[in-house]
Amino acid sequence: MNRLVSVIQALKAKGVRLTSERQLILRRAVNHLHFSAEELVNDVRTIDRSVSRMTVFRTLTLLQNAGLVEKHDFHYGPPYYEVTYGKAHHDHLMCMRCGEIIEFQEPRWEPMQEEAAKRYGYKLLSHTHKLYGLCGSCQTRNNGKPVHKAPKLHVEEIVA
C-alpha cells in the first residue's frame, strides 16, 4: 500500500490528473511484478468493467512517459510491463521454458556500459540487459527435450 501511495505522489508531483480509472489501474499494476498489457486490462476490468481497454493502454503509456513504468520485451511471449518507480535498477534473467523471471543487480556493469557508449561518442541514456536460460528445475525436469518459446511469464519475487 505504501508503494501505491508513493507512486501516486510521484504522479501528482508531475501534475498528472489522477482520475478514478488511473487510480484503479495503478493499484492493480503495483500489485504485479511483471504483467502484460492485456493481463492488466483483464485484471482491471474484473474489478470495474466500465474501464476501457484503451484507458489501460493510455495510462500505461502515460506512466512510461512519466518514468514510473518500464516496458520489457522478453523476446519470448508478449511485452511485459513493470512499475519501476522506487525500485533500484536491475537486469533480468528469464527461464526459456517455464518463463520464470528473476531480477538481479550487477553494479559492476553500469560503469562499463557508460565507458562503452563513450567509446563511440554516445551519451548513454538507458539500456536493457537480459539473460535467457534454463532455471534449475527446468534443466533437470526436461533434460534432453527441446526448449520451446516460453508460453507465459509468471510473476516472481525480486531475488537480488
Partner DNA sequence: GAATATTTGTTACTCAGTATCAACTAAGAA
Partner DNA sequence: TTCTTAGTTGATACTGAGTAACAAATATTC
Residues that bind a second copy (CB under 8 A): 71, 73, 75, 91, 93, 95-96, 102, 104, 106, 108-109, 112-113, 116-117, 119-136, 139, 147, 159-160
For residues 130 and 72, give the distance between their C-alpha atoms in angstroms, rounded to a whole number: 9
Cβ proximity to a second copy, 24 vs 95, nearer residue:
95
Helix 37-47 / helix 20-29 crossing angle, nearest 10 deg: 120
For residues 96 and 33, give the distance between their C-alpha atoms in angstroms, rounded to a whole number: 18
Site for DNA in 61-120 (CB under 7 A): 61, 71, 77-79
- 68, with CB counted inside 10 A (0-12, 13-18, 19+), is buried
Cβ proximity to DNA, 73 vs 110, nearer residue:
73
Phi-psi region of 118 (alpha: psi -120 to 50; beta: other; left: phi over 0): alpha
For residues 149 and 152, give the distance between their C-alpha atoms in angstroms, rounded to a whole number: 9
| The one among 2, 17, 125, 146 contacting DNA by CB under 7 A | 17
Q: Is 32 in the site for DNA (CB under 7 A)?
A: no
Q: Is 13 in the site for DNA (CB under 7 A)?
A: no
Q: Is 43 in the site for DNA (CB under 7 A)?
A: no
| The one among 29, 55, 76, 138 contacting DNA by CB under 7 A | 55
Number of residues that bind DNA (CB under 7 A): 23
- 21, with CB counted inside 10 A (0-12, 13-18, 19+), is middle
For the bound state, the minimum distance from the C-beta of residue 159 to DNA, rounded and expressed in Å, comes to: 25
Binding site for DNA (CB under 7 A): 16-17, 19-22, 36-38, 50-55, 57-59, 61, 71, 77-79
